[in-house]
Amino acid sequence: MLEGTIAMKVALFVPCYVDAFFPEVGIATLELLERLGCEVDFPLDQTCCGQPMANSGCHQDARGTEALYAKNFAGYDHIVTPSGSCAHHVRDHMTAIEQTPAVQKVRRNTRELVEFLHDVLQVREFPWAEFPHKVGLHIGCATLRGLREATTSEIAEPAFNKPKQLLSAVKGIEFVAPKRIDECCGFGGTFSVFEEPVSVRMGQDKVSDHHNAGAEFIVSPDMSCVMHQQGCARRMGLPLKFIHIAQVLNGARG
């Protein structure tokens, strides 16, 4: 535990696609939270937040999954997940189930990892972290415009960027910016398969933009966007690498 930090009990929510395809992101999130002094619970019956069904309009089909989420995470003051769109769903869209006080509390207390680090723990230093690479930052749209983790190019207001602020504390990191700084990458959940032509075209444009800016790595708090972008980049033969922000903040060297 870091000196001066307060022990905090946290429940970890590892979204289904991270559980299945990117266990290293879950591990990095868990280790980072522990390193920062949190006592981390991982409720073993967790599955998903209900977003895939709800975003498709199928609230009936989302109900059971949302109820299970609310049951698994009931009573925790802090529920942390390394996925912005899941946190956005829980907080802003988890309405298929009855809104009991317990459900409302679970929803309110669910945060994306960067929000938790930045706003709750207020961590500003990661002395163990070093990432000597040119990095393009990708903040998914739910994280950006839903959770408002950063200001956007559409609205002129005093700028802030929570993921970038945290990453700026990592030694050796160098940011390079794509031309279209916050254009959607085209993942969009089931959009990625039901609107495959546009989704892929957007993904190709996004990774090309990062590549042309000189990025070696794309770092993101949103693994679902990354899954899509990585898929596009690999097929195109671009030498881009992808890594979750939790891994970088936890000290991965790339």
Partner 1 sequence: MKRVDHAGASSRFIEAKDHADFHDMRLWDLRKKRDAEAIDIPEWEELRGLASAIKEHTLTHLADYLEQFERNATANGMVVHWARDAAEHNQIVFDILEAHQATTLVKSKSMLTDECEMRPFLANRDIEIIETDLGERIQQLDDEPPSHIVVPAVHKLRGDVAEVFARTIGTDPKNHDVPYLAESQRMHTRPYYLTAGAGMTGANFAVAETGSFVVCTNEGNADLSTNLPKLHIASIGIEKLIPKIEHLGVFIRMLSRSALGSPITQITSHFRAPRPGTEMHVVLVDNGRSERLGMADFWYSLKCIRCGACMNTCPVYRRSGGLSYGSTYSGPIGVIIDPTFNLRKYSALPFASTLNGSCTSVCPVKINIHEQIYKWRQIIAERHQLPMVKKEAMRVAGRILARPRLYRAAVQAAATGIDKLPRFMIYNPFNAWGHQREVPSSPSQTFRQWYLKNRGADK
Beta strands in 16-118 (DSSP E): 38-41, 79-81, 110-112
Q: Which residue of 74, 120, 161, 195 would you call a contact of partner 1, by CB under 8 A?
A: 195
Residues 67-86 that bind partner 1 (CB under 8 A): 67-68
Return the number of the residue (34 or 130) whose C-beta is nearest partner 1: 34
- Give the position of tokens 């090309």: 208
Report the nearest approach of partner 1 to the CB of residue 17 (Å).
8
3-class DSSP state for residue 222? strand
Q: Which residue of 11, 147, 232, 246 would you call a contact of partner 1, by CB under 8 A?
A: 232
Q: Which residues contact 3 (CB under 8 A, 6 or more apart)?
A: none
Please state, in angstroms and rounded to a whole number, the distance separating the CA atoms of residues 111 and 29.
13
At 185, give phi and psi (nearest 5°).
-90, -10
Contacting range for partner 1; rule: CB under 8 A; set: 3-11, 47-55, 116-124, 246-254:
47-55
Report the nearest approach of partner 1 to the CB of residue 171 (Å).
27
Contact between 52 and partner 1 (CB under 8 A)?
yes
**Which string of DSSP letters, residue by residue, matches 118-184?**
IIIS-----TT-B--SEEEE---HIIIIIS--B--TTS-S---BHHHHHHTTSBT-EE---SSTT--
CA atoms lying within 13 Å on the CB side of residue 85 = 22
Residues 169-188 that bind partner 1 (CB under 8 A): 180, 182-184, 186-188
Q: Strands of 174-175's sheet, edge to edge?
A: 174-175, 134-137, 217-220, 241-244
Return the number of the residue (22 or 217) whose C-beta is nearest partner 1: 22
Contact between 158 and partner 1 (CB under 8 A)?
no
Report the nearest approach of partner 1 to the CB of residue 128 (Å).
19
Residues 94-133 that bind partner 1 (CB under 8 A): none
Return the number of the residue (160 or 172) whose C-beta is nearest partner 1: 160
Please state, in angstroms and rounded to a whole number, the distance separating the CA atoms of residues 214 and 56.
36
Q: Binding pattern to partner 1, positions 10-39, x when CB under 8 A?
A: ----x-x-xxxxxxxxxx--x---------
Contact between 161 and partner 1 (CB under 8 A)?
no
Q: Which residue of 8, 169, 200, 213 would you call a contact of partner 1, by CB under 8 A?
A: 200
